């Protein structure tokens, strides 16, 4: 039987003595803690050097590399020398492998959580390898080495700065190994403690050994992801009480007892019978493969996972919205219109600012989201009066701000997503992924239309909520129209596809029937659709008519639900007002899961948001940090996908909006009542006198395709 002992500067409360089977060998393991007593550790090494096959040294400083410089730890070397001919290790070789492996596995398992995360290393010099790997995912790195080692009130914020610091501080560190060169006076110590408390509180991720994490309370660690090692059940419970969401334990726990990596590496050396310097990389790879190891990712708080991060750009929709910005609130009340015109122009040039922090979004999956609403100053009038490049610069400045705050994706709201090439150029230049939210906007509008049909109760819904009626898509060959047509082919009994582009209609029809073989499709030009429009139970208008009259609302059936997803609208307010017995929908708003906290953005309930903002939040909860919806073309697959992802994360339809705002239950009931009255009146007018009944000539039918 092989035997190893771990002599640790850590607490004696974690001492253990057990036997186990490891790599086909029986091994006896003893762990002895000295509670930071270095002299006691020296004596124990002398005592055990000839009694075991290998010695592990725990809670000592590893010899380490920072950049191209190697740093030798004299205290650690003394303990190693005292071991004589007995194999001895700090676990450094294994630790380097396990830390990187754990970090990369966590990045994958947590849905790319470390992308652009604000990461604080309490010791960057001893975790340089991990910092180098983390730098692949984020540049928001901070290192507290100067504060903890020398009491200097400032952190390092790049790998290069860490390398320069390590090289410059090494001569001073040799004077007092393991300690700072100077002891700070009391006020400075207090200031540094407050500084570190703030840095831990502001970080998304904290990298530190457990004994350093013990210094911080729930006020600093609440909601954090921590990378540490050797987490026992007792330590996990302590982290839970401090509000830690995720613990990435960069250690290997294969036994009933919690042990450090120095123990595991000592066991490997005892079995192989050679020092760590002679163990090849392939030996470690073979051991990992044989053990079938899995990363140790712990969730101390049951049902809670990490908090992902987003940013979303908003802007004032008119001069009156400027009153919501504190510095302009009083000015807007006392200034004449001419002054406010000047203010409106000036505000367009102001740099982006954080309008509100968004917190409390909680998915049923356990993942949460937080973010920032970033305000750019231009009203639609000012945005459209400048070149696209002017707005691009504002959005890129907002993206840089979002990156520094740790956002993993940024959404574009209102007119910022339609300027120029609708987000394509911004996405190419921005330091983080961009989405316009148009996929969920289209999905939300159809969602609202389906809900409106159900609430009006004038059309039957088959099992599975399929509309037992006729639906028309005007502008079906356009980007948004084709996406709507594909989705409606799955949810409606009969779909009329209307477009002046006959060839594109035929291609679209073939594509839809391939995806939905049972769909019943009717193809028509604008002229043909005018004759059948009165039979439609739902109409989606998605043209690019730019103000041209595409749809005659006076010919629509009473109680028809019209969803206008065209921008600019195909049906302006004056047209909608002509038919109070028709429900015209502009958008569907989304209700976010959780207890959302943020400033109002147009709705009294903070959980209700526009669908474009909801798309950014859905992608954040899902960990899909990628350019999702860009440009003026919308892929129907993404419209369908974002709808399904929204349901997964607890999104639901919150409100149905028209040109005059949100429809209340009374509004919908009023439309239903007027529609029933109009239908009754139309029926009485159309009932023919039996004596005067004549045979009418047959009308030319539109082309019908698919299976009924």
Q: How many structural domains compose the chain?
A: 3
Provide the pLDDT for residue 414. 83
The structure's pTM equals 0.86
Residue range of the domain that includes 59: 2-89
DSSP one-letter code for 302: T
Residue 225 inside a domain? The answer is yes
| CA distance linking residue 104 with residue 102, whole number of Å | 6
Do 257 and 110 sit in the same domain of this protein? yes
Question: 84-110, pLDDT tens digit by residue?
Answer: 999 999 999 999 999 999 999 999 999
pLDDT band of residue 185 (cuts 50, 70, 90) is: low
Is the separation of the CB atoms in 1 and 20 below 8 Å? no
For residue 633, give the nearest of 439, 409, 390 by alpha carbon.
439
Provide the pLDDT for residue 508. 94
Provide the pLDDT for residue 637. 86
CATH of the domain at 59: 3.40.50.300
Residue 223 inside a domain? The answer is yes
Q: What does pLDDT average to over the chain?
A: 89
Provide the pLDDT for residue 483. 85
Residue 101 inside a domain? The answer is yes
Give yes or no for residue 187 having a pLDDT over 80.
no
Q: Final residue of a domain: which of 49, 71, 89?
A: 89
For residue 346, give the nearest of 369, 308, 319 by alpha carbon.
319
Q: Using alpha carbons, list the distances in angstroms from residue 321 to 318, 324, 329, 379, 605.
A: 6, 6, 9, 9, 18
Question: 23-51, pLDDT tens digit by residue?
Answer: 999 999 999 999 999 999 999 999 999 99
The separation between CA 92 and the C-alpha centre of its own chain, rounded to angstroms, equals 35
Residue 444 inside a domain? The answer is no
Do 97 and 238 sit in the same domain of this protein? yes
| CA distance linking residue 146 with residue 109, whole number of Å | 33
Give yes or no for residue 634 having a pLDDT over 50.
yes
3-state secondary structure of 370: strand
* Whole-number percent of the chain with pLDDT over 90: 66
Do 366 and 313 sit in the same domain of this protein? yes
pLDDT band of residue 334 (cuts 50, 70, 90) is: low
pLDDT band of residue 180 (cuts 50, 70, 90) is: very low
Q: Final residue of a domain: which of 89, 120, 139?
A: 89
Question: 292-318, pLDDT tens digit by residue?
Answer: 788 899 999 999 999 999 999 998 877
Do 272 and 355 sit in the same domain of this protein? no
Give yes or no for residue 647 having a pLDDT over 70.
yes
Provide the pLDDT for residue 699. 44
Question: 514-564, pLDDT tens digit by residue?
Answer: 989 989 999 998 877 778 899 999 999 988 655 567 789 999 999 999 998
Q: Final residue of a domain: which of 265, 298, 331?
A: 298
Residue 423 inside a domain? The answer is yes
Residue 9 inside a domain? The answer is yes
pLDDT band of residue 68 (cuts 50, 70, 90) is: confident
Do 234 and 332 sit in the same domain of this protein? no
Give yes or no for residue 372 having a pLDDT over 80.
yes
Query: Per-residue pLDDT averaged across 684-707, rounded?
Result: 54
Among 21-35, 179-193, 638-652, which stretch is predicted with the lowest mean pLDDT?
179-193
Question: 560-589, pLDDT tens digit by residue?
Answer: 999 988 766 778 889 999 999 999 998 899
Give yes or no for residue 434 having a pLDDT over 90.
yes
Provide the pLDDT for residue 569. 76
* Whole-number percent of the chain with pLDDT over 70: 90
Tokens at 291, concatenated:
């053990």
3-state secondary structure of 474: strand
> Buried (b) or exposed (e) across 120-140, using 16+ Cβ within 10 A?
bbbbbbbbbbbbebbeebbeb
Do 293 and 358 sit in the same domain of this protein? no
């Amino acid at each position: 039987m092989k035997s190893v002992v771990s002599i640790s500067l850590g607490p004696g409360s974690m001492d253990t003595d057990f036997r186990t089977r490891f790599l086909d060998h029986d091994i006896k393991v003893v762990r002895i803690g000295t509670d930071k007593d270095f002299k006691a550790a020296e004596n124990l090494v002398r005592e055990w050097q000839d009694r075991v096959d290998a010695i592990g040294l725990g809670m000592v400083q590893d010899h380490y590399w920072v950049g191209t410089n190697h740093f030798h730890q004299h205290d650690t070397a003394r303990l190693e020398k005292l071991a004589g001919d007995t194999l001895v290790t700090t676990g450094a070789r294994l630790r380097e492998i396990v830390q990187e492996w754990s970090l990369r596995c966590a990045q994958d398992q947590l849905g790319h959580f470390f992308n652009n995360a604000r990461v604080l290393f309490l010791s960057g010099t001893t975790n340089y390898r991990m910092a180098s790997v983390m730098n692949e995912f984020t540049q928001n790195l901070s290192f507290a080495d100067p504060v903890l080692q020398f009491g200097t009130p400032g952190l390092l914020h790049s790998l290069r700065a860490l390398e320069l610091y390590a090289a410059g501080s090494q001569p001073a560190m040799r004077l007092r190994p393991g300690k700072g060169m100077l002891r700070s006076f009391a006020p400075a110590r207090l200031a540094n403690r407050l500084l570190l408390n703030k840095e831990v509180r502001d970080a998304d991720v904290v990298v530190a050994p457990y004994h350093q994490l013990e210094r911080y309370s729930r006020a600093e660690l609440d909601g954090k992801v921590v990378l540490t090692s050797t987490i026992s059940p007792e330590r996990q419970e302590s982290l839970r009480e401090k509000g830690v969401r995720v613990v990435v334990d960069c250690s290997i726990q294969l036994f009933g007892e919690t042990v450090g990596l120095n123990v595991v590496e000592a066991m490997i050396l005892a079995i192989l019978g050679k020092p760590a310097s002679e163990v090849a990389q392939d030996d470690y790879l073979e051991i990992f493969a044989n053990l079938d190891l899995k990363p140790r990712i712990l969730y101390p708080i049951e049902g809670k996972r990490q908090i992902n991060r987003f940013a979303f750009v908003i802007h004032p929709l008119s001069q009156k919205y400027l009153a919501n910005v504190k510095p302009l609130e009083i000015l807007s009340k006392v200034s004449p219109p001419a002054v406010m015109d000047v203010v409106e122009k000036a505000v367009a040039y102001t740099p982006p600012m954080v309008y509100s922090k968004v917190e409390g979004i909680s998915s049923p999956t356990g993942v949460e989201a937080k973010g920032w609403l970033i305000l750019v100053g231009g009203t639609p009038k000012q945005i459209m009066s400048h070149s696209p490049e002017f707005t691009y610069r504002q959005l890129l400045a907002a993206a840089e701000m979002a990156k520094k705050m740790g956002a993993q994706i940024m959404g574009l709201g209102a007119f910022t997503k339609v300027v120029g090439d609708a987000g394509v150029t911004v996405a190419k230049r921005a330091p983080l992924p961009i989405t316009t939210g148009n996929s969920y906007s289209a999905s939300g509008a159809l969602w609202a239309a389906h809900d409106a049909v159900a609430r009006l109760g004038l059309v039957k819904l088959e099992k599975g909520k399929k509309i037992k009626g006729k639906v028309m898509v005007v502008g079906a060959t356009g980007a948004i129209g084709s996406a709507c047509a594909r989705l409606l082919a799955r949810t409606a009994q009969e779909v009329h596809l209307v477009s002046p582009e006959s060839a594109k209609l035929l291609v679209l029809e073939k594509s839809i029937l391939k995806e939905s073989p049972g769909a019943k499709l009717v193809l028509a030009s604008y002229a043909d659709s005018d004759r059948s429009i009165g039979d439609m139970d739902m109409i989606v208008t998605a043209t690019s008519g730019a103000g041209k009259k595409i749809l005659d609302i006076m010919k629509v059936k009473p109680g028809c639900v019209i969803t206008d997803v065209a921008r600019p609208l195909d049906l302006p307010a004056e047209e909608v007002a002509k038919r109070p017995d028709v429900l015209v929908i502009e958008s569907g708003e989304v209700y976010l899961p959780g207890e959302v906290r943020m400033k109002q953005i147009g709705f009294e309930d903070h959980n209700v948001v526009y669908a474009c903002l909801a798309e950014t939040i859905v992608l954040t909860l899902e960990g899909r940090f990628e350019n999702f919806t860009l440009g003026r073309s919308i892929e129907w697959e993404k419209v369908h996908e974002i709808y399904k992802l929204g349901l997964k994360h607890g999104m639901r339809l919150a409100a149905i909006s028209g040109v005059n705002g949100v429809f209340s239950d009374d509004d919908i009931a009023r439309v239903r009542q007027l529609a029933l009255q109009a239908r009754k009146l139309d029926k009485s007018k159309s009932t023919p006198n039996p004596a005067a009944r004549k045979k009418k000539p047959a009308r030319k039918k539109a082309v019908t395709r698919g299976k009924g």
